[in-house]
Amino acid sequence: MSRLIRFERTGGPEVLQWVDCDVAPPAPGEAQVRHCAVGLNYIDVYHRSGLYPVPLPSGLGLEASGVVEAVGDGVVDLRPGDRVAYAGGALGAYSERRNIVADRLVRLPDALSFEQGAAMMLQGLTAQYLLRRTYRVQPGDAILIHAAAGGVGLLVCQWAKALGATVIGTVGSDEKAALAQLYGCDHPIVYTRERVSSRVRELTGGEGVAVVYDSIGKDTFLDSLACLRPMGMMVSFGNASGPVESFDPGLLGKMGSLFLTRPSLFAYSARREDLLAMAEELFAVVLSGQVKLSINQQFPLRDAAVAHRELEARRTTGSTVLIP
């Protein structure tokens, strides 16, 4: 017998249920993993609330770390006892143990804890593709990252700084500004006090930034476009404030022939060889000390609803993990 978080209807955190379940032996191509830590991410809120519809009833969560307990037929590169981590695949990471397609698992280096593994995979791989593939940040670039004190934000600040960029970030308070600055943000902007695009233009001598990484969505979209230099890249990778409203693509031309993309980790890591290369680069920058993980909250997995309330109220910073 095992336990997991399940929801039978969409809604607020109160729909999350802590229930018993049986876990079958792994099918061919699968591995059974006993979770030691589970990552909390804003996409979990999208699934729970119905913004990203899923068949119900459903498990929740896309990221965890743990130990392989069994493997199904055809799995040759993993064995029981291996330390692993993952991000993506079917929902169900909010569980004590589960079966998962084995090619989504990567071996977790011994020098990294299970908590680090659970905190870094989805957010860290997101930072990797944003900075190294969607728009490949170059030395001397000025960039803007929204929610700079969040899990992805703190990773992007450090990594972009190590790449030689000038990092501008938005935050919601002076406390979060200080945290972002500690992690490499050169110019934190408290968005409740300043118009972000005006401040960005001031900081860049009127030029604008090369790229905006925007996970906020509706509330920031148009002002984010106004932050870009001509032929700059708008990377919309989340909808924390709601989905972006329809707009005329001609606006991109009028604002300087801007580029717009809506990337997802699951597209960038769909091929196993890409997933392994991304994870290798992520582990390398963390183990080198260039990027430090900031795990600032831990909750028991059974209290996932409490963790969701804290996340949605913007009372969290850095990464949050759930412990089974």
pLDDT tens digits, 220-248: 899 999 999 999 999 999 887 888 888 89
Residue 263's pLDDT is what? 96
Average pLDDT over residues 315-324: 92
Question: Which residues are bridge partners to 214 per DSSP?
Answer: 236
Per-residue pLDDT of 60-84, as tens digits, reads 999 999 999 999 999 999 999 999 9
Average pLDDT over residues 166-172: 97
Is the model more confident about 202 or about 88? Answer: 202
Per-residue pLDDT of 271-302, as tens digits, reads 999 999 999 999 999 999 999 988 999 999 99
Given a cut of 80, is residue 26 above it in pLDDT? yes
What mean pLDDT, rounded, does the chain reach? 95
**27 and 107 in contact (C-beta within 8 Å)?**
no
Residue 183's pLDDT is what? 95
Domains within the chain, CATH numbers bracketed: 2-121+266-323 (3.90.180.10), 139-262 (3.40.50.720)
Given a cut of 90, is residue 127 above it in pLDDT? yes
Residue 156's pLDDT is what? 97
Cβ neighbours of residue 301 under 8 Å, at least 6 residues apart?
Answer: 5, 18, 38, 94, 95, 96, 322, 323, 324
Average pLDDT over residues 188-212: 97
Distances from the Cα of 282 to the Cαs of 108, 127, 146, 261, 288, in angstroms?
11, 9, 21, 22, 10
**71 and 79 in contact (C-beta within 8 Å)?**
yes
